[in-house]
Chain A
Amino acid sequence: MTPVFAADPSLAMQAIGLTKHYGQVVGMEGADFELARGEILAVVGDNGAGKSTLIKALAGALIPDSGQVYVDGEPVRFSSPLDARLVGIETVYQELALATQLDITQNMFLGREMRKPGVLGSVLRQLDKKRMRQQAAEQMHNLGIRVQSIRQAIETLSGGQRQAVAVARAAAWGRKVVILDEPTAALGVRETHQVLDLIRRVREHGLSVVLISHSMPEVFAIADRIHIHRLGRRAAIVSPKTTVMSDVVAVMTGALPSDAVVSAALAPAGAPDF
């Protein structure tokens, strides 16, 4: 069944009718998604609403039963996170995914190490440590992240600095989209602000950001639009400028019907229920 649907090429990412069942359990049921270029889109939803299922489908970490994902208007099919990465989508997972005993540079380049040019690199497979350190330092500098040395082991960094390194890595490799799964969940107030500033800088660099968050004040402080997820699908997509926090929470919990808030959707909603 080919959906009769024209994807919007002006959107960085789009998904139509994503469905995922785990046996009897419904992870997603006709979920739509859209992400404009250069925006910060917050994804909010109650526990069990299926946020992480949606994010995993966008990041290639799971394969939906049906539905279609588009990047820049082109249909894509991810069978692994690597596929998503190759089209320019990077994800910062909640569990951070940093090797704490390795240093900042090693983490930035883990799995994508650079080798020296010529025989040293091709035959002897020698790492180009200098070039990697230079680029890691530049990346940290561009994003305004301050650490003593990019050769510090991650375990010597504070929680906020660690999160900053993870975000910087995603921003460095992601050419289009950076997905952040609750990046501030474990952080204090000051560190949260630093990470939010960092996310804004990532947007300034032209990337689109998907931010999963539980914190409404944080969402309203930073998001351009808010995707409200409920019962395995998108209930609404709203702008923080036209919708107040209490209404977002009401839609999230089902206290308010989704058509009671002003939609900020850019593209028409996708396929009807299956």
Chain B
Amino acid sequence: MGTRELLGQVRMQDPELTVATAPQSDSTEGAVAAAAAPPASLQRPTRSLFAYPITGPLFALIVIFVVFSLTTSTFMNAGNISLIAQQSVVIGTLALGQTLIILVSGIDLADGAIMVLGTVVAGSIASHGDAVLAMALGFVACIVVASINGLVIARFRLPPFIATLGMFTIIAAAARLYSQSRSFPVTSDLLSVLGSGPEFGTVAVTYGTMLWVALTLVLGYALNETPWGVRVYAIGNSPIAARLNGVNVTRVVFSVYALAGVFYAFAAWQALGRTPIADPSGYQIANLDSITAVVIGGTSLFGGRGGVAGTFIGTLIVVALKNGLTQAGIDSLYQQIATGALVMLAVGADQYLGRGHRA
């Protein structure tokens, strides 16, 4: 029995079992605390909140900034930088939800359409009703639709690509039917508040920009510092391993899609801050833009690798590239070609690296 008890002291506490053996847990913690200094391997500097290589995307972003600073006279100034941040908020917020989904090896082609539905629901109700109610219902619409995606993908095992492609078509049409293809100018201060914010000369730091940064930090925390985050990465890495270790894969995947809906709702709010018009035919390629931002930011389409810091930088890359090309007077069609080439490059790198890692 002696050795058994000894092992019992160092044996990990199962959270489900700790309840039953609560009196013992104190002594266990005491034993751990009293144990000899941990091996050197433990004393390495703590990995940062965003523990994965973002050096590639960061380098690309710096290159873009250097090139446009040298080739245009209008790119590198505080006013334009704050404009890039403002131009980033809609795609950037959508891309946070998209990141979550891609981390569990999913994909969401409907994110832009869900966001547009959110703007149309909020805008139409606000046009002859209470703004708070309008915003609440806009959030509900986004979360409900995203949760339906989650249900069919997590519970009924539809391939995410097909499920969200179907939802994309349905929601885009539904938003038009609901609004009778009209757009709704938004006059409510609440709905358009994210477009405003303190100004310092030419520099405007909008509440939308602040919200985007805050949402990125919150999601980064959830992914890196909570059990849920570890499970998201584990599922993206190997759903079988996650399941065999007692992770409720269905529930976590559902939570990912539903939570993405919350980000789409915030993106809808951001969109009304950027342009105070709820237009059912707006943001038609926002889905591709968001996927581009995620992939360029280094999150793997295979799942399990990447995170929100990369997506933040990836969004800035996509937006800064468009902004810079505009400043350089280059046709917007060439801008699309550049973005398309960039996403192919990023996916190619992902495939190449992925092959190297997977046995």
Using a CB–CB cutoff of 8 Å, the interface residues on chain A facing chain B are: 81-82, 85-86, 93, 95-102, 106, 108-115, 124-127, 129, 131, 133-135, 137-139, 141-142, 147-151, 155, 172-173, 175, 204-206
Q: Give bound CA distance, A97 to B246, whole Å.
A: 11
Q: A109-B12, A111-B231, A155-B357 are in contact. Are A99 and B241 (CB under 8 A)?
A: yes
Are B227 and A125 interface neighbours, CB within 8 A? Answer: yes
The interface residues of chain B lying within 8 Å CB-to-CB of A206 are 1, 3-4, 7
List the B residue with the shortest CB-CB distance to A101: B237
Are A125 and B228 interface neighbours, CB within 8 A? Answer: yes
22 contacts between A and B (CB under 8 A): A82-B246, A85-B246, A86-B14, A86-B16, A93-B244, A98-B241, A101-B305, A101-B357, A102-B234, A110-B231, A110-B241, A110-B242, A112-B14, A112-B16, A127-B225, A131-B32, A134-B42, A149-B44, A151-B41, A172-B11, A173-B11, A175-B8
Are A134 and B242 interface neighbours, CB within 8 A? Answer: no
Are B44 and A151 interface neighbours, CB within 8 A? Answer: yes
Are A100 and B237 interface neighbours, CB within 8 A? Answer: yes
Q: Give bound CA distance, A100 to B233, whole Å.
A: 11
Are A111 and B246 interface neighbours, CB within 8 A? Answer: yes
The interface residues of chain A lying within 8 Å CB-to-CB of B23 are none
- A175 touches which one: B11, B38, B47 (CB < 8 A)? B11
Are A134 and B35 interface neighbours, CB within 8 A? Answer: yes
Q: Chain A binding site: helix, strand, loop or mixed by DSSP? A: loop
List the B residue with the shortest CB-CB distance to A202: B7
List the A residue with the shortest CB-CB distance to B304: A101
The interface residues of chain B lying within 8 Å CB-to-CB of A114 are 12-13, 15
List the B residue with the shortest CB-CB distance to A96: B241
Are A137 and B38 interface neighbours, CB within 8 A? Answer: yes
Are A137 and B41 interface neighbours, CB within 8 A? Answer: yes
- A134 touches which one: B32, B228, B240 (CB < 8 A)? B32
List the B residue with the shortest CB-CB distance to A204: B3
Are B14 and A173 interface neighbours, CB within 8 A? Answer: yes
Q: Give bound CA distance, A141 to B226, whole Å.
A: 26
Interface residues in B212-251 by Cβ distance below 8 A to A read 221, 225-228, 230-231, 233-234, 237-238, 240-242, 244-247
The interface residues of chain B lying within 8 Å CB-to-CB of A147 are 41
Q: Does B17 contact A (CB under 8 A)?
A: yes
List the B residue with the shortest CB-CB distance to A85: B246
Q: Give bound CA distance, A31 to B15, whole Å.
A: 34
The interface residues of chain A lying within 8 Å CB-to-CB of B3 are 204-206
Are B41 and A148 interface neighbours, CB within 8 A? Answer: yes
Are B10 and A138 interface neighbours, CB within 8 A? Answer: yes
Q: Does B39 contact A (CB under 8 A)?
A: yes
Are B15 and A112 interface neighbours, CB within 8 A? Answer: yes
Are A99 and B233 interface neighbours, CB within 8 A? Answer: yes
Minimum CB–CB distance from B49 to chain A (whole Å) comes to 12
Q: A101-B304, A110-B247, A142-B7 are in contact. Are A149 and B241 (CB under 8 A)?
A: no
Are A135 and B10 interface neighbours, CB within 8 A? Answer: yes
Are B38 and A133 interface neighbours, CB within 8 A? Answer: yes
List the B residue with the shortest CB-CB distance to A131: B32
Q: Give bound CA distance, A21 to B14, whole Å.
A: 34
Minimum CB–CB distance from A123 to chain B (whole Å) comes to 11
The interface residues of chain B lying within 8 Å CB-to-CB of A175 are 8, 11
Are A138 and B32 interface neighbours, CB within 8 A? Answer: yes
Q: A85-B246, A151-B44 are in contact. List 18 more A-B contacts (CB 8 A).
A: A82-B246, A85-B14, A86-B17, A102-B230, A110-B241, A112-B16, A112-B245, A113-B227, A115-B227, A131-B32, A137-B38, A137-B39, A150-B42, A151-B47, A155-B357, A175-B11, A206-B3, A206-B7
